[in-house]
Structure 1
């Protein structure tokens, strides 16, 4: 007997037992004795038997695979969320399939269809910035039993659970910190306002100014991309004006990094002349020549919570009850030299 293409029929023939006995032994059936189970498993390994996972999935209704769709994987935030999901689901035997939308709703749609065709047991998703119409997501919700869980970037769709941080609170606390350090003319790099997370950070910024009797100046709100170049260009725009800010709250760490680079190039002292605080607490923020303050989004915890919501959903469905969950995590401010006056 060669080790190639061994089946349960081959194992049955070698051990002179029924195919049903082999199948039950491999699936740890309680009616099969421990001695028989051990013998069958040992023989299966010797014969290089590989269990047909597809057939098993069709029988059980579970593939033990889940899909994760993110805009990009090459940021600490999204890679940490993925790690958190994996950590939570691995003990339950789940594997993850990772897809990148590259901020393109059409690619996002293709990935959703691919994951559904692969019969994944669930989909974790952070929507692209070009996802305005949510018909493709609602269609899945209405025609499939596959649960979708939004994390970080979400759309308000009834029946879909979400795991986010309190972006409004993050924007408020970042701005309030700058005010407490004595800064009064605070500019905001607002990110892409098509996304709810950036709208909430902007609203938090505005409310903090209002609560501390400071004027909300529309010229101090700049819609930027979430890139280093966007931060550089924003500084160039600001410094063409008569009234320049004494502090910057950026909704993106990368735009904040670009701002720091351009301020340094212009020999403007941070934080003495202009303070800077970002959002996300990317690893580079603490290793910069002048460590940069930022709001930590606790991505690992976000991933853990998203995984827990999925497991809860599976348990709820097994009992015939489906519960929509809304988990909101608190951001944590990390104060460093870029925003703290001596």
Structure 2
């Protein structure tokens, strides 16, 4: 069905397009009788104004761009839901773009957001070193407020909200060591991403206190399917680890599926511990011990920082760098090794 335009209404009534425009926008220059007739005809014909065009005339689009790595996991879904809840009642709408952890796609999505004239961007960037110049251009050339969340890009001086990755990994490793584990494997998030690099670096700080091997360190690419295969490869080795640390909740789902396929008993045959929580960690038998992030707080704080930047565009403030504490949750997926 063809979209009804002001020209269609003008042709039907035999008036000028400018008269229709003035009547529908509430501006003077048309009689009360003609205005009522134009408004009534517009409703009958199913006319709807272009929201972007209307916004641009007012000098604002009330649109916020959001860049996230994927759409399938619960973590980013909760973050975005919290952002939307914070921004919606103030009249802002979200334009959601997935990058699939592909820096080229990320660059295209950033350009799309710029072309859509978003008023601000909330981004969980792909790699810690990719698209640095483009993100800088967003801030410096296009003057679009930018806030990173969960991940950052090195060399881009802007606000961010992240979890304390190092403290989270420290809690995991010290817990496993206290339970007698020394042979520990790690399926880490995608290399090159901020979370992947930070969590792997924190794990490797314990290399002198544990036994780990190259074949026990696997890149799970931050997704369920790679982590599934990585776990099977680790457990296929002749000398298996006693515990596997999984670097995010979506990868944990893949690991749990793989363990079930291999008919491995948790924690009797292998202990599993996850960086981040999800509903499946609680309902799985046994429930999975983990470090829990707070995606709702990440979303709320990132959105609040962006709103402050939008209100104070002319004022140059020092970027806010928020690092949120994580919470260790002990459940039943790690056994104690004695002797």
TM-score by length of 2: 0.80
**Equivalences for residues 260-339 of structure 1 within 5 A:** 260-318=256-314, 320-339=315-334
Aligned residue for 1:231?
A: 227
What are structure 2's unaligned runs of at least 5 residues?
1-5, 10-19
Which piece of structure 1 moves more, 301-310 or 262-271? Answer: 262-271
Counterpart of 1:117 (choices 115, 118, 123) is 115
Q: Quick check: 1:217 aligned with 2:212? A: yes
Name the counterpart of 1:161.
Answer: 159
Taking the aligned partners of 1:334 and 1:247, their CA distance within structure 2 comes to: 17
Residue 266 to residue 87, structure 1, CA distance change in 2 (3 Å): closer
Match of 1:76 among 74, 77, 83: 74
**Shift in Å at residue 259 of structure 1?**
3.2
| Worse overlay, 195-204 or 75-84 | 195-204
1:225-281 superposed Cα distances (whole Å, 9 cap, x missing partner): 333443343333334444321111111334333333444444443113321011231
Task: Give the match for residue 17 of structure 2.
Answer: none
Of 12, 18, 23, the match for 1:9: 23
Q: Does 2:204 correspond to 1:206?
A: yes
Alignment RMSD: 3.2
CA offset digits 1:2-23 (Å, max 9, x no partner): x99665436554549xx9xxxx
Say if 1:74 and 1:257 are closer, same or farther in 2 by CA, change over 3 A. Answer: closer
Question: Does 2:138 match 1:140?
Answer: yes
The answer for unaligned runs of 5 or more in structure 1 is 20-39
Which residues of 2 match residues 1-150 of structure 1 at below 5 A? Answer: 7-9=21-23, 12=28, 13=30, 15=32, 53-54=51-52, 57-58=55-56, 60-129=58-127, 132-150=130-148
Give the deviation of 1:307 after TM superposition: 0.4
Q: Quote the offset at 1:290 in angstroms.
A: 2.2
Alpha-carbon deviation of 1:328? 1.0
Relative distance call for 1:56 and 1:238 in structure 2 (3 A) is closer
Mapped partners of 1:302, 1:266: distance in 2: 36
Instruction: Please report how far the alpha carbon of residue 305 of structure 1 lies from its aligned counterpart in structure 2 after TM superposition.
Output: 0.6
Secondary structure at the aligned position of 1:317 is classed as coil
Q: TM-score, normalised by structure 1?
A: 0.79
Residue 55 of structure 1 and its aligned partner are, at CA, apart by: 5.8
Tell me the SS of whatever aligns to 1:150: strand
Instruction: Give the number of aligned pairs.
Output: 313
Shift of 1:188: 1.3
Q: Deviations over 1:178-225 (max 9, x none)?
A: 222232222211232211212211222233x36xx7236343433333
Look up the SS of the partner of 1:67 in the other structure. strand
Change (3 A) 1:264 1:325: same
Structure 1 window deviating more from structure 2 (163-172 vs 124-133): it is: 124-133
Q: Deviations over 1:70-108 (max 9, x none)?
A: 121221111111111111112221111111112222221
